Structure 1
């Protein structure tokens, strides 16, 4: 395309993001994405919109609401000047980074617990092979004391014992 900026089709946006057509159309309707139309009426996105879409998807996966994302993306445009925009954006990002750190701590602890649960469950696999209906866990000597077992294991496998 001589002189023209390359555009992305809806199909390109889907391939580059893993989103569904419905999601891309929804974000466009909500004003989070911008598309022009080809002569044939198809959506045409700038490459920056794919980057924007992937950023939106990441924020959504991190737990942000659409309203929070829209507000973040509009910060500079809604501020009276760049100084105000910079300050607002910095405050928002600082608060959200704190929230992310707390979530990361929780997720790190949860991952360790669930990995430990899988390891303990691997020990139980032998017993369930020998007694598939209901293995007797009460006198088990192959696992540590219940208090030393991961919480996930205690609550899912040993919860009935």
Structure 2
């Protein structure tokens, strides 16, 4: 299939496909007349990349998954390098979750303090907002 069809089937743009090609994630096969040509395996690569990006992986983090598929494995996450990326991403997410919990606790404390202060104030109440 040609680049336009692949882009349509993958739900992306030809510009994105050219970018992936320039980054070495998508093979650059050409016909005799210079047209890019792709097959179902390339569509699988793109679906893997897009799924991972939907999960928050950056483009470079998808590389081990793509390489695993290119090596003939049935899934992009059936290689040790892919599992290592999963582990690193989980660690990153755990850190972000902890940071968000800390920030949430601070915002909650600020809110509680502000509400307590509001209850003891004798000045006119602000009518803006809720």
Same fold (TM over 0.5): yes
| Structure-2 change in CA distance of 1:100 and 1:58 (3 Å) | farther
User: Displacement of 1:87 after TM fit?
Assistant: 4.0
Q: 2:59 matched to 1:69?
A: no
Contact 1:27–1:33, Cα closer than 8 Å, also in 2: yes
CA distance in 1, matches of 2:47, 2:11: 9
- Per-residue CA deviations over 1:53-88 (Å, capped at 9, x if unaligned) read 1111111121111111124434699xxxxxxx9444
Contact 1:76–1:86, Cα closer than 8 Å, also in 2: no
User: Displacement of 1:94 after TM fit?
Assistant: 4.1
Structure 2 unaligned blocks of 5 or more: 71-77, 97-127
Query: TM-score if structure 2 supplies the norm length?
Result: 0.56
| Structure-2 change in CA distance of 1:76 and 1:21 (3 Å) | closer
Give the alignment's Cα RMSD to 1 decimal. 3.3
- Per-residue CA deviations over 1:10-40 (Å, capped at 9, x if unaligned) read 1221121111110010001100101311111
Question: 2:21 maps to which residue?
Answer: 28
Match of 1:92 among 82, 85, 89: 85
CA distance in 1, matches of 2:25, 2:4: 18
Question: 1:160 maps to which residue?
Answer: 129
CA distance in 1, matches of 2:53, 2:37: 23
Query: TM-score if structure 1 supplies the norm length?
Result: 0.46
- Per-residue CA deviations over 1:123-144 (Å, capped at 9, x if unaligned) read xxxxxxxxxxxxxxxxxxxxxx
Question: Which structure 2 residues correspond to residues 2-151 of structure 1 after superposition, within 5 A?
Answer: 8-74=1-67, 86-96=79-89
